[in-house]
Amino acid sequence: MALNIQNISKKYVMGIEEVHALKDVSLKIDNNEYVAIMGPSGSGKSTMMNILGCLDIPTTGTYHLEDEDVSEMDDDQLADVRNRKIGFVFQTFNLIPRADVFHNVELPLIYGNIVPQKRKVMTDEAIEKVGLTDRAHHKPNELSGGQRQRVAIARALVNNPAIIFADEPTGNLDSVTGREIMGILDGLHRAGNTIILVTHEKEIAEHAHRIIWLRDGLIESDTVTQRAAATMEIVNN
Amino acid sequence: MRKFYSTTAAFRIALEAIRANKSRGILTTLGIVIGIVAVVTTMTAANGLGNRFKESVSALGSDVLYVSRRPWVFSGNFFQFRNRQNLQMREAQKLNTGLKNALAINPTTNTNKNVKYLSKTLEAINIIGTTEKHMVVSSSVPESGRFLTGFDIQSKKRVCVIGSEIKENLFGDIEPINKKMKLGRYTYRVVGVMEEQGSAGFFGGPNFDRQIFVPITSFMSSFGSHNRDFNIAVKAAPGVVLADFEYEVIGEMRKIRKLKPTEEDDFSINQMNQLVGAYNNVMGVIVIIGLVITGISLFVGGIGVMNIMFVSVTERTKEIGVRKAIGAKRKSILTQFLFESSTICLIGGVFGIVLSFGITALINKLVMPATISLPIVFVALLVSVLTGIFSGFIPAFKASKLNPTEALRYE
Ligand SMILES: Nc1ncnc2c1ncn2[C@@H]1O[C@H](COP(=O)(O)OP(=O)(O)OP(=O)(O)O)[C@@H](O)[C@H]1O
Ligand SMILES: [Mg+2]
């Protein structure tokens, strides 16, 4: 089991107003699943991502990530869990503009206290996986949008996390480049990673094997995609 | 396992951030630069002056006591000593026979006279009547010619030995030895020129280069012996503890003056250390003033750096969110910004030191010998880093406490 949330809710308080971004959600995701979270704007997708990604803690409910109960952890413990088990890919890439590709990708390893020699090997490997070895010493502003997102993916997978989260990874890219990025994510999934992505686009969601629909802070549906059905058929035959 | 992520990486990250905002960083360091220049030059000047002062008063000799009517250094009113009697020549002679542990005794007396060579006149020059024993009690030596001899004293020769400044100002390029000059109304022949001592005159101390030595006997016949006040320099024999010797000199003087046990001393025992002590007091005040200026400019500089760090933290809220998302702990963020603020201040410190080297070179050329010592450089660097840590702490703390989701949402 990669993760397991039970009766999770998230309440934002703004002055006297309360927003229930998530209301009593339970969900299990297995290792090496490929999950897309969809839903209208304001339905709670990002809130769910943040909780699953250990960036935020739920108001009520429990959350087990692999064998750890993360629902009660403090800031630094969560940071440690994120560093060891989670990789993030954001819609807006969120690279450090001053640092070159190598140093951006290396960053999680620095925070993970990996020794320099080992850092170099792991960083080079991650950059190679996304095909940017020849750009390793370029700054983000010298790269195209697709390349930047590939750097972000390399950064997300550099410390071999259990799960990679991607919040609208193709939202800022044209469709061709978006497909390219999805190709990389598909590859990571085939290589054994668990991938959870948030998207608005049906076409992107079709890359996943499971689609979870949110509406008003609740899971409306949880379905297996055609692609998963196809793979299963291959397996069954 | 190490508790905290690599310092080289932290330093690199700080430099990247500063490089991205070069001109802003440089402007911010101005206050730090001024502060560091203030601290370095104050310390250097204090050292330079101190060395120079000690060098010049060292002619007095550290194992020599000077018996005189008034102390060299005192607090309160000058007139408190008006009832004291002048020291007499015969008291010097009695002291000479009475003291067991003295290596040499040298009575001196002095007056100010205008001195003249050909048509050139110097006003109010200190004329000192002394004996050949001056060479024993003082470390100063003639640079050319000779000093006064016992024969000069005994036979009341009208000869004189002049200080280096007198030679320069009165004779210029002319060789003074054997030239006749006027001390007041009397003609004296120059037999020697003293080596330059370096002036201690800048704190009201004596200027040993601007004086003229004559035999004490000729002095009295030229300038009168009536009502004259003498100073008696007494040098301890080798191996005698100075404190014991001082005790002996005081006892002997009290005997000579026939003081009752209840009566206070009506004379003073002086020594070089008292001048050094007085100097140190004056210098202490100057150093404190320098340090206050340093403190103020570092404080102002520090506030500037703090301000910039607040701006920097706000500008980079999203970056902080990203760093936290990929696993930076509070401490990592805190240290990142502390590294940044201390690196800014360290750069200011280095600029300040470089500038101080320039200023010191100028002082060296125009005022006095001065060198920046390694400990001062070290202290300056330390001070600038500490300023950085102090001024960066609050902004860095604020950054470290940011909530990652909110930081990531920041636009
Ligand atoms: N930090 C916050 N403070 C207050 N309200 C919040 C906060 N974050 C989210 N919300 C509210 O919670 C609800 C769910 O927001 P969330 O960002 O999860 O939606 P979303 O599905 O990601 O929407 P979108 O597709 O527009 O990104 C919204 O009503 C939003 O206004
Ligand atoms: Mg969202």
Q: Are residues B80 and B20 in the same domain?
A: no
Encode pLDDT of B286-315 as tens digits.
888 888 888 888 898 899 999 999 999 999
What residues does A35 pair with on adjacent strands? Answer: A196, A210
Q: Are residues B205 and B311 in the same domain?
A: no
- Decide if B356 contacts B372 (C-beta within 8 A): yes
The pLDDT value recorded for residue B396 is: 95
Contact B326 A53 (CB under 8 A): no
Residue A13 CB–ligand 1 contact under 6 Å: no
Least Cα distance to B409 among A167, A87, A37 occurs for A167
Residue finishing a domain among B270, B285, B305: B270
Encode pLDDT of B213-257 as tens digits.
999 999 999 999 888 899 999 999 988 888 899 999 999 999 998
Which residues lie closer than 8 Å to B181 by C-beta, 6 or more apart?
B115, B116, B117, B160, B170, B187, B188, B189, B190
Residue finishing a domain among B255, B270, B285: B270
Domain, as residue range, for B321: 2-55+277-409
Domain, as residue range, for A39: 33-54+75-236
Q: How many domains does chain A have?
A: 1
Flag whether A11 is in a domain: no
Flag whether A131 is in a domain: yes
**Stretch B332-350: mean pLDDT, rounded?**
92
Residue A199 CB–ligand 1 contact under 6 Å: no
Flag whether A24 is in a domain: no
| DSSP letter, residue B85 | P
Encode pLDDT of B55-110 as tens digits.
777 777 778 899 988 888 777 777 778 778 888 888 889 988 888 888 999 999 99
Which residues lie closer than 8 Å to A35 by C-beta, 6 or more apart?
A29, A195, A196, A197, A208, A209, A210, A211, A212
Q: Which amino acid is at A102?
A: F
Residue A19 CB–ligand 1 contact under 6 Å: yes
CA atoms within 13 A on the CB side of A208: 28
Q: Are residues B189 and B245 in the same domain?
A: yes
Name the H helices within chain A.
45-52, 75-85, 101-111, 116-129, 145-157, 175-190, 202-205, 226-236
Flag whether A60 is in a domain: no
pLDDT at residue B2 greater than cutoff 50: no
Q: Are residues B198 and B78 in the same domain?
A: yes
ipTM of this complex: 0.92
Q: Is A178 exposed, middle or buried (0-12, 13-18, 19+ CB in 10 A)?
A: buried
3-class secondary-structure state, position B36:
helix
The pLDDT value recorded for residue B3 is: 44
| DSSP letter, residue A222 | E
Give the whole-angstrom CA distance, residue A226 versus residue A206: 8
* Residues in chain A closer than 8 A to B6 (CB atoms): 110, 113, 116
Q: Are residues B23 and B105 in the same domain?
A: no
pLDDT at residue B1 greater than cutoff 50: no
Q: How confident is the model at residue B266 (pLDDT cuts 50, 70, 90)?
A: confident
User: Ligand 2 centre from A162 Cα, in Å?
Assistant: 22
- Per the model's pLDDT, the better-predicted residue between A228 and B210 turns out to be B210
Flag whether A65 is in a domain: no
Q: Are residues B109 and B242 in the same domain?
A: yes
**Stretch B330-357: mean pLDDT, rounded?**
92
Give the whole-angstrom CA distance, residue B252 versus residue B94: 9
Encode pLDDT of A56-111 as tens digits.
989 999 999 988 899 888 999 999 999 999 999 999 999 999 899 999 999 999 99
> Could you give the strand order of the β-sheet that contains A60-65, starting from the edge strand earlier in sequence?
A17-29, A3-14, A60-65, A68-69
Q: What are phi and psi of A161, to 5 degrees?
A: -75, 160
* Residues in chain B closer than 8 A to A116 (CB atoms): 6, 8
Q: Residue A161: which CATH number?
A: 3.40.50.300
- Per the model's pLDDT, the better-predicted residue between B27 and A50 turns out to be A50
Q: Are residues B318 and B216 in the same domain?
A: no
| Facing residue for A108 by CB, picked from B19, B327, B408 | B327
Summary mean pLDDT of chain A: 91
Q: What is the pTM of this model?
A: 0.75
Any chain A CB within 8 A of the CB of B323?
yes
**Stretch A216-234: mean pLDDT, rounded?**
81
Give the whole-angstrom CA distance, residue B91 versus residue B257: 8
Residue A14 CB–ligand 1 contact under 6 Å: yes
Residue finishing a domain among B219, B249, B270: B270
Name the H helices within B138-270.
150-154, 164-166, 216-223, 242-257
Q: Are residues B126 and B242 in the same domain?
A: yes
Query: Closest ligand to A20 CA?
Result: 1
Encode pLDDT of B122-157 as tens digits.
999 999 999 999 998 888 889 999 999 999 999 999
Flag whether A38 is in a domain: yes
User: Ligand 1 centre from A48 Cα, in Å?
Assistant: 10
Which residue in this structure is represented by tokens 């020794």?
Answer: A115
CA distance A142 to chain B (A): 15
Give the whole-angstrom CA distance, residue B175 versus residue A68: 97
Least Cα distance to B247 among B259, B236, B257 occurs for B236
Least Cα distance to A133 among A142, A145, A124 occurs for A124
Q: Are residues B78 and B227 in the same domain?
A: yes
Chain center to CA of B167 = 27
Which of B326, B335, B397 should be substituted to probe chain A, the one whose Cβ sees the most A Cβ atoms within 10 Å? B326
